[in-house]
C-alpha cells in the first residue's frame, strides 16, 4: 500500500509539473514569417493625378509572439521557419507588451510621415521642418526629469530652432559638463529648462530622442495599413508614393518586395526579422527583394532558393534599380 501511495504521489507531482510548465512564460520572443501587402493599393492621394502600375510593391512583416510558453517553445524549436530570441534582444527590458504595441504604432506613424516627406522631396517639392518634438527620454540621462515626451523645443541657448539638426548642432557645440538652455512648449505653457551635457558614444548628449515636425504637405497622401507596426516599411512606402505620383511605372510589371527604415535624408537603415520576411516572400512566388545593405550579414545561409536579394543603402539606389529593369542580374546582392 505504501509503495502504491508513493507511486501515486509521484504521478501527481509529474502531472502538476507538466501543467505548471504549460503556463510558464519564457523570457523569449518567437519571430515567424508575417503577412505581405501590396503598398500601391494602400496609397490614397487627394489633389493631384495618380497613375496605375502593372506590377506590385510589397511591404513585408514579421509575426512576433511575446507570450511564448514552455511547450510552445519546444514546437518553435522544431520549426525551421521560427526563430527564438531572448526578449531583451528584441525589446527594452522593462517595457510591457502594451507599451511595446504603442511604441510600434508610433514608429509606424512616424515611418509613414517620413516616407511622405522623402518621396515628395524626391519629386521636387521643397519641404522643410517647422518644429522639433521630444519623442523619448533616455532613463537616467541628464534630460530625465527635466524634459518630457511631447515637449516642443522652440529655442536652444536663446536661438530659435525648427529642426532636429539645429538642436543637435547646438547640443554638440557644448563641452561635457556645460549646460544647455532649452525653451519648450509643454501643453499650453512655455517652460525654460537647463540640462547638463554628458558624454555618450564619444559625443555630447543630453539623452533625448527627437523628431522633426512638418507643416501640411503640398500633396495629401494617406497610407492605409492594418495590424502592422514599426518602422520597417518606410522604404516601400516611399517607393510606392513616388510610383503613384509619376507616369513612370517603377515596377515595370514586376512583383517586388522589400524592407528597410527610411530616414529624412533618404538613407535606408537595417531592420529586424529579415530572414523570416524572406520566407514569406518566397512562398508568395516573389523573386526579388530589396534589403538594407546592413542586413546582409543577418541572412547569410538563410536565403531561400530562387530569391534574388538587391542590397540598398539609400532611396536613390533603390530607384536606380527599379528604373533599370535590365540591371536585375548585375545589381549588388548579399
The pLDDT tens digits of the residues spanning 113-126 come to 999 999 999 999 99
**Helix-strand-coil split of the chain, %, nearest 5:** 35, 30, 35
Residue 145 has pLDDT above 60, yes or no: yes
Residue 11 has pLDDT above 80, yes or no: no
Residue 3 has pLDDT above 50, yes or no: no
Supply the mean pLDDT for the chain: 87
pLDDT the model gives residue 9: 52
CA 81 to chain CA centroid, nearest Å: 21
Q: Please list, in sequence order, all residues whose beta carbon lies within 8 angstroms of the beta carbon of residue 17, skipping any fewer than 6 positions away.
A: none
Residue 69 has pLDDT above 80, yes or no: no
pLDDT the model gives residue 21: 52
Q: Which residue has the cell 530659435?
A: 160
Q: Which of 79-88, 221-230, 273-282 has the lowest mean pLDDT?
A: 79-88
pLDDT the model gives residue 32: 80
Residue 243 has pLDDT above 90, yes or no: yes
CA–CA distance, 127 with 109 (Å, rounded to integer): 18
pLDDT the model gives residue 2: 47
pLDDT the model gives residue 207: 94
Amino acid at each position: 500500500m505504501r509503495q502504491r501511495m508513493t507511486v501515486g504521489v509521484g504521478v501527481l507531482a509529474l502531472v502538476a509539473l507538466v501543467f505548471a510548465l504549460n503556463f510558464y512564460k519564457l523570457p523569449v520572443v518567437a519571430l515567424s514569417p508575417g503577412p505581405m501587402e501590396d503598398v500601391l493599393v494602400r496609397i490614397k492621394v487627394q489633389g493631384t493625378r495618380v497613375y496605375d502600375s502593372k506590377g506590385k510593391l510589397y511591404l513585408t512583416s514579421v509575426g512576433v509572439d511575446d507570450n511564448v510558453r514552455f511547450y510552445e517553445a519546444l514546437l518553435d524549436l522544431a520549426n525551421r521557419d521560427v526563430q527564438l530570441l531572448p526578449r531583451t534582444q528584441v525589446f527594452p527590458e522593462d517595457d510591457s507588451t502594451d507599451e511595446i504595441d504603442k511604441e510600434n504604432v508610433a514608429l509606424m506613424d512616424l515611418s509613414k510621415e517620413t516616407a511622405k516627406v522623402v518621396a515628395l522631396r524626391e519629386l521636387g517639392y521643397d519641404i522643410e521642418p517647422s518644429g522639433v518634438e521630444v519623442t523619448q527620454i533616455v532613463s537616467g540621462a541628464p534630460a530625465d526629469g527635466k524634459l518630457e515626451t511631447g515637449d516642443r523645443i522652440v529655442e536652444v541657448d536663446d536661438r530659435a530652432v525648427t529642426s532636429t539638426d539645429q538642436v543637435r548642432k547646438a547640443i554638440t557645440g557644448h563641452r561635457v559638463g556645460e549646460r544647455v538652455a532649452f525653451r519648450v512648449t509643454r501643453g499650453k505653457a512655455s517652460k525654460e529648462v537647463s540640462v547638463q551635457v554628458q558624454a555618450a558614444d564619444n559625443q555630447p548628449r543630453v539623452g533625448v530622442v527627437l523628431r522633426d515636425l512638418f507643416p501640411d504637405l503640398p500633396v495629401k497622401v494617406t497610407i492605409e495599413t492594418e495590424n502592422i507596426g514599426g518602422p520597417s516599411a518606410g522604404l516601400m512606402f516611399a517607393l510606392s508614393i513616388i510610383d503613384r505620383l509619376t507616369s513612370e511605372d517603377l515596377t515595370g510589371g514586376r512583383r517586388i518586395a522589400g524592407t528597410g527604415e527610411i530616414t529624412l535624408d533618404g538613407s535606408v537603415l537595417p531592420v529586424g526579422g529579415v530572414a523570416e520576411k524572406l520566407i514569406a516572400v518566397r512562398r508568395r512566388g516573389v523573386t526579388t527583394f530589396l534589403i538594407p545593405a546592413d542586413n546582409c550579414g543577418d541572412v547569410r545561409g538563410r536565403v531561400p532558393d530562387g530569391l534574388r536579394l538587391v542590397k540598398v543603402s539609400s532611396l536613390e539606389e533603390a530607384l536606380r534599380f527599379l528604373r533599370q529593369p535590365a540591371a536585375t542580374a548585375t545589381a549588388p546582392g548579399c
